[in-house]
């Protein structure tokens, strides 16, 4: 099995959320669960992302470097 087959061959597994048998390229919630998660957590996920990428505004300069 080459790398392309690894990427395209679906895995058969039970959804970790609803335990329904599903098949997808990557292990995770099934399509129904993903849709539900997107609908219920979509806004929250965007807020979390904004927090992660928020620049640190209160970084204290290295005192040794600024000392005269």
Binding site for Zn ion (CB under 5 A): 15, 17-18, 30, 33
Q: Residue 4 or 15: which CB sits closer to Zn ion?
A: 15
Least distance CB 7 / Zn ion (angstroms): 22
Q: Residue 20 or 48: which CB sits closer to Zn ion?
A: 20
Tokens 């048998």, located at residue: 21
Q: Residue 24 or 33: which CB sits closer to Zn ion?
A: 33
Q: Where are the beta strands (DSSP E) in the chain?
A: 11-14, 21-24
- In 3-state terms the chain splits into helix, strand, coil percentages (rounded to 5) of 45, 10, 40
């Amino acid at each position: 099995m080459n790398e392309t087959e690894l990427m395209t061959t679906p895995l058969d597994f039970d959804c970790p959320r609803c335990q329904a048998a599903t098949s997808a390229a990557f292990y995770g919630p099934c399509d129904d669960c993903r849709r539900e998660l997107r609908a219920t957590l979509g806004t929250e996920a965007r807020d979390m992302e904004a927090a992660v990428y928020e620049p640190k505004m209160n970084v204290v300069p290295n005192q040794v470097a600024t000392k005269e």
